[in-house]
Amino acid sequence: MKILVDADACPVVAIVEKVAKEKDIPVILVCDNAHVLRSEYSQVVTVDRGTDAVDFKLLSLSEKGDVIVTQDYGVAVMAHGKGVKVIHQSGKWYTNDNIDTMLMERHIAKCERRKSNKSHLKGPRKRTGEDDVRFEESFRKMLG
């Protein structure tokens, strides 16, 4: 098992590395070349900037039994289909029970953006320490 992180602006990298180090699980941080990442623990894989370049790299590096940390629902669906466990930075697991609903919500949000001629609707609320605790608890549970 290895842990792959969609590391472009991911707020839980330090938590992932801390838990992975305790459990001696390798971590791969994947980012595009617009970001500079360094890690004492994780392998850092940098790809050229491009639509979905990081997503495709995550998927190509993942194997059944691995864990991916991402907020991208599309990546989650494809990884889940490969037998990869997927967790959102909020701590929510992507499962057969919720993935269809998440994709529908993403589709509706995209339609709303298109109707309003805005590229983004109101973003998520600011991350708190409680969010980090919730992620870590959920992540530890996923790893077993």
Yes or no: say if 31 and 46 are a contact pair by the CB < 8 Å rule. Answer: yes
pLDDT in tens, 102-117: 778 877 877 877 777 7
In the block, residue with structure tokens 């098992």: 1
CATH code: domain 3-95+127-143 is: 3.40.50
pLDDT at 86 over 80: yes
Backbone phi and psi for residue 93, each to the nearest 5 degrees, phi listed first: -85, 140
pLDDT in tens, 11-37: 999 999 999 999 999 999 999 988 888
Domain coordinates of the chain in residue numbers? 3-95+127-143
* 26/17 Cα distance (integer angstroms): 9
Yes or no: say if 30 and 45 are a contact pair by the CB < 8 Å rule. Answer: yes
- 30 forms beta bridges with 6, 45
pTM: 0.88
- C-alpha to C-alpha distances, 100 to 4, 46, 77, 126, nearest whole angstrom: 23, 30, 9, 26
Q: Which residues of 39-70 are buried (b: 16+ CB within 10 A; e: fewer)?
A: eeebebbbeeeeeebbbebbbeebeeebbbbb
Yes or no: say if 16 and 139 are a contact pair by the CB < 8 Å rule. Answer: yes
Note the pLDDT of residue 142: 97
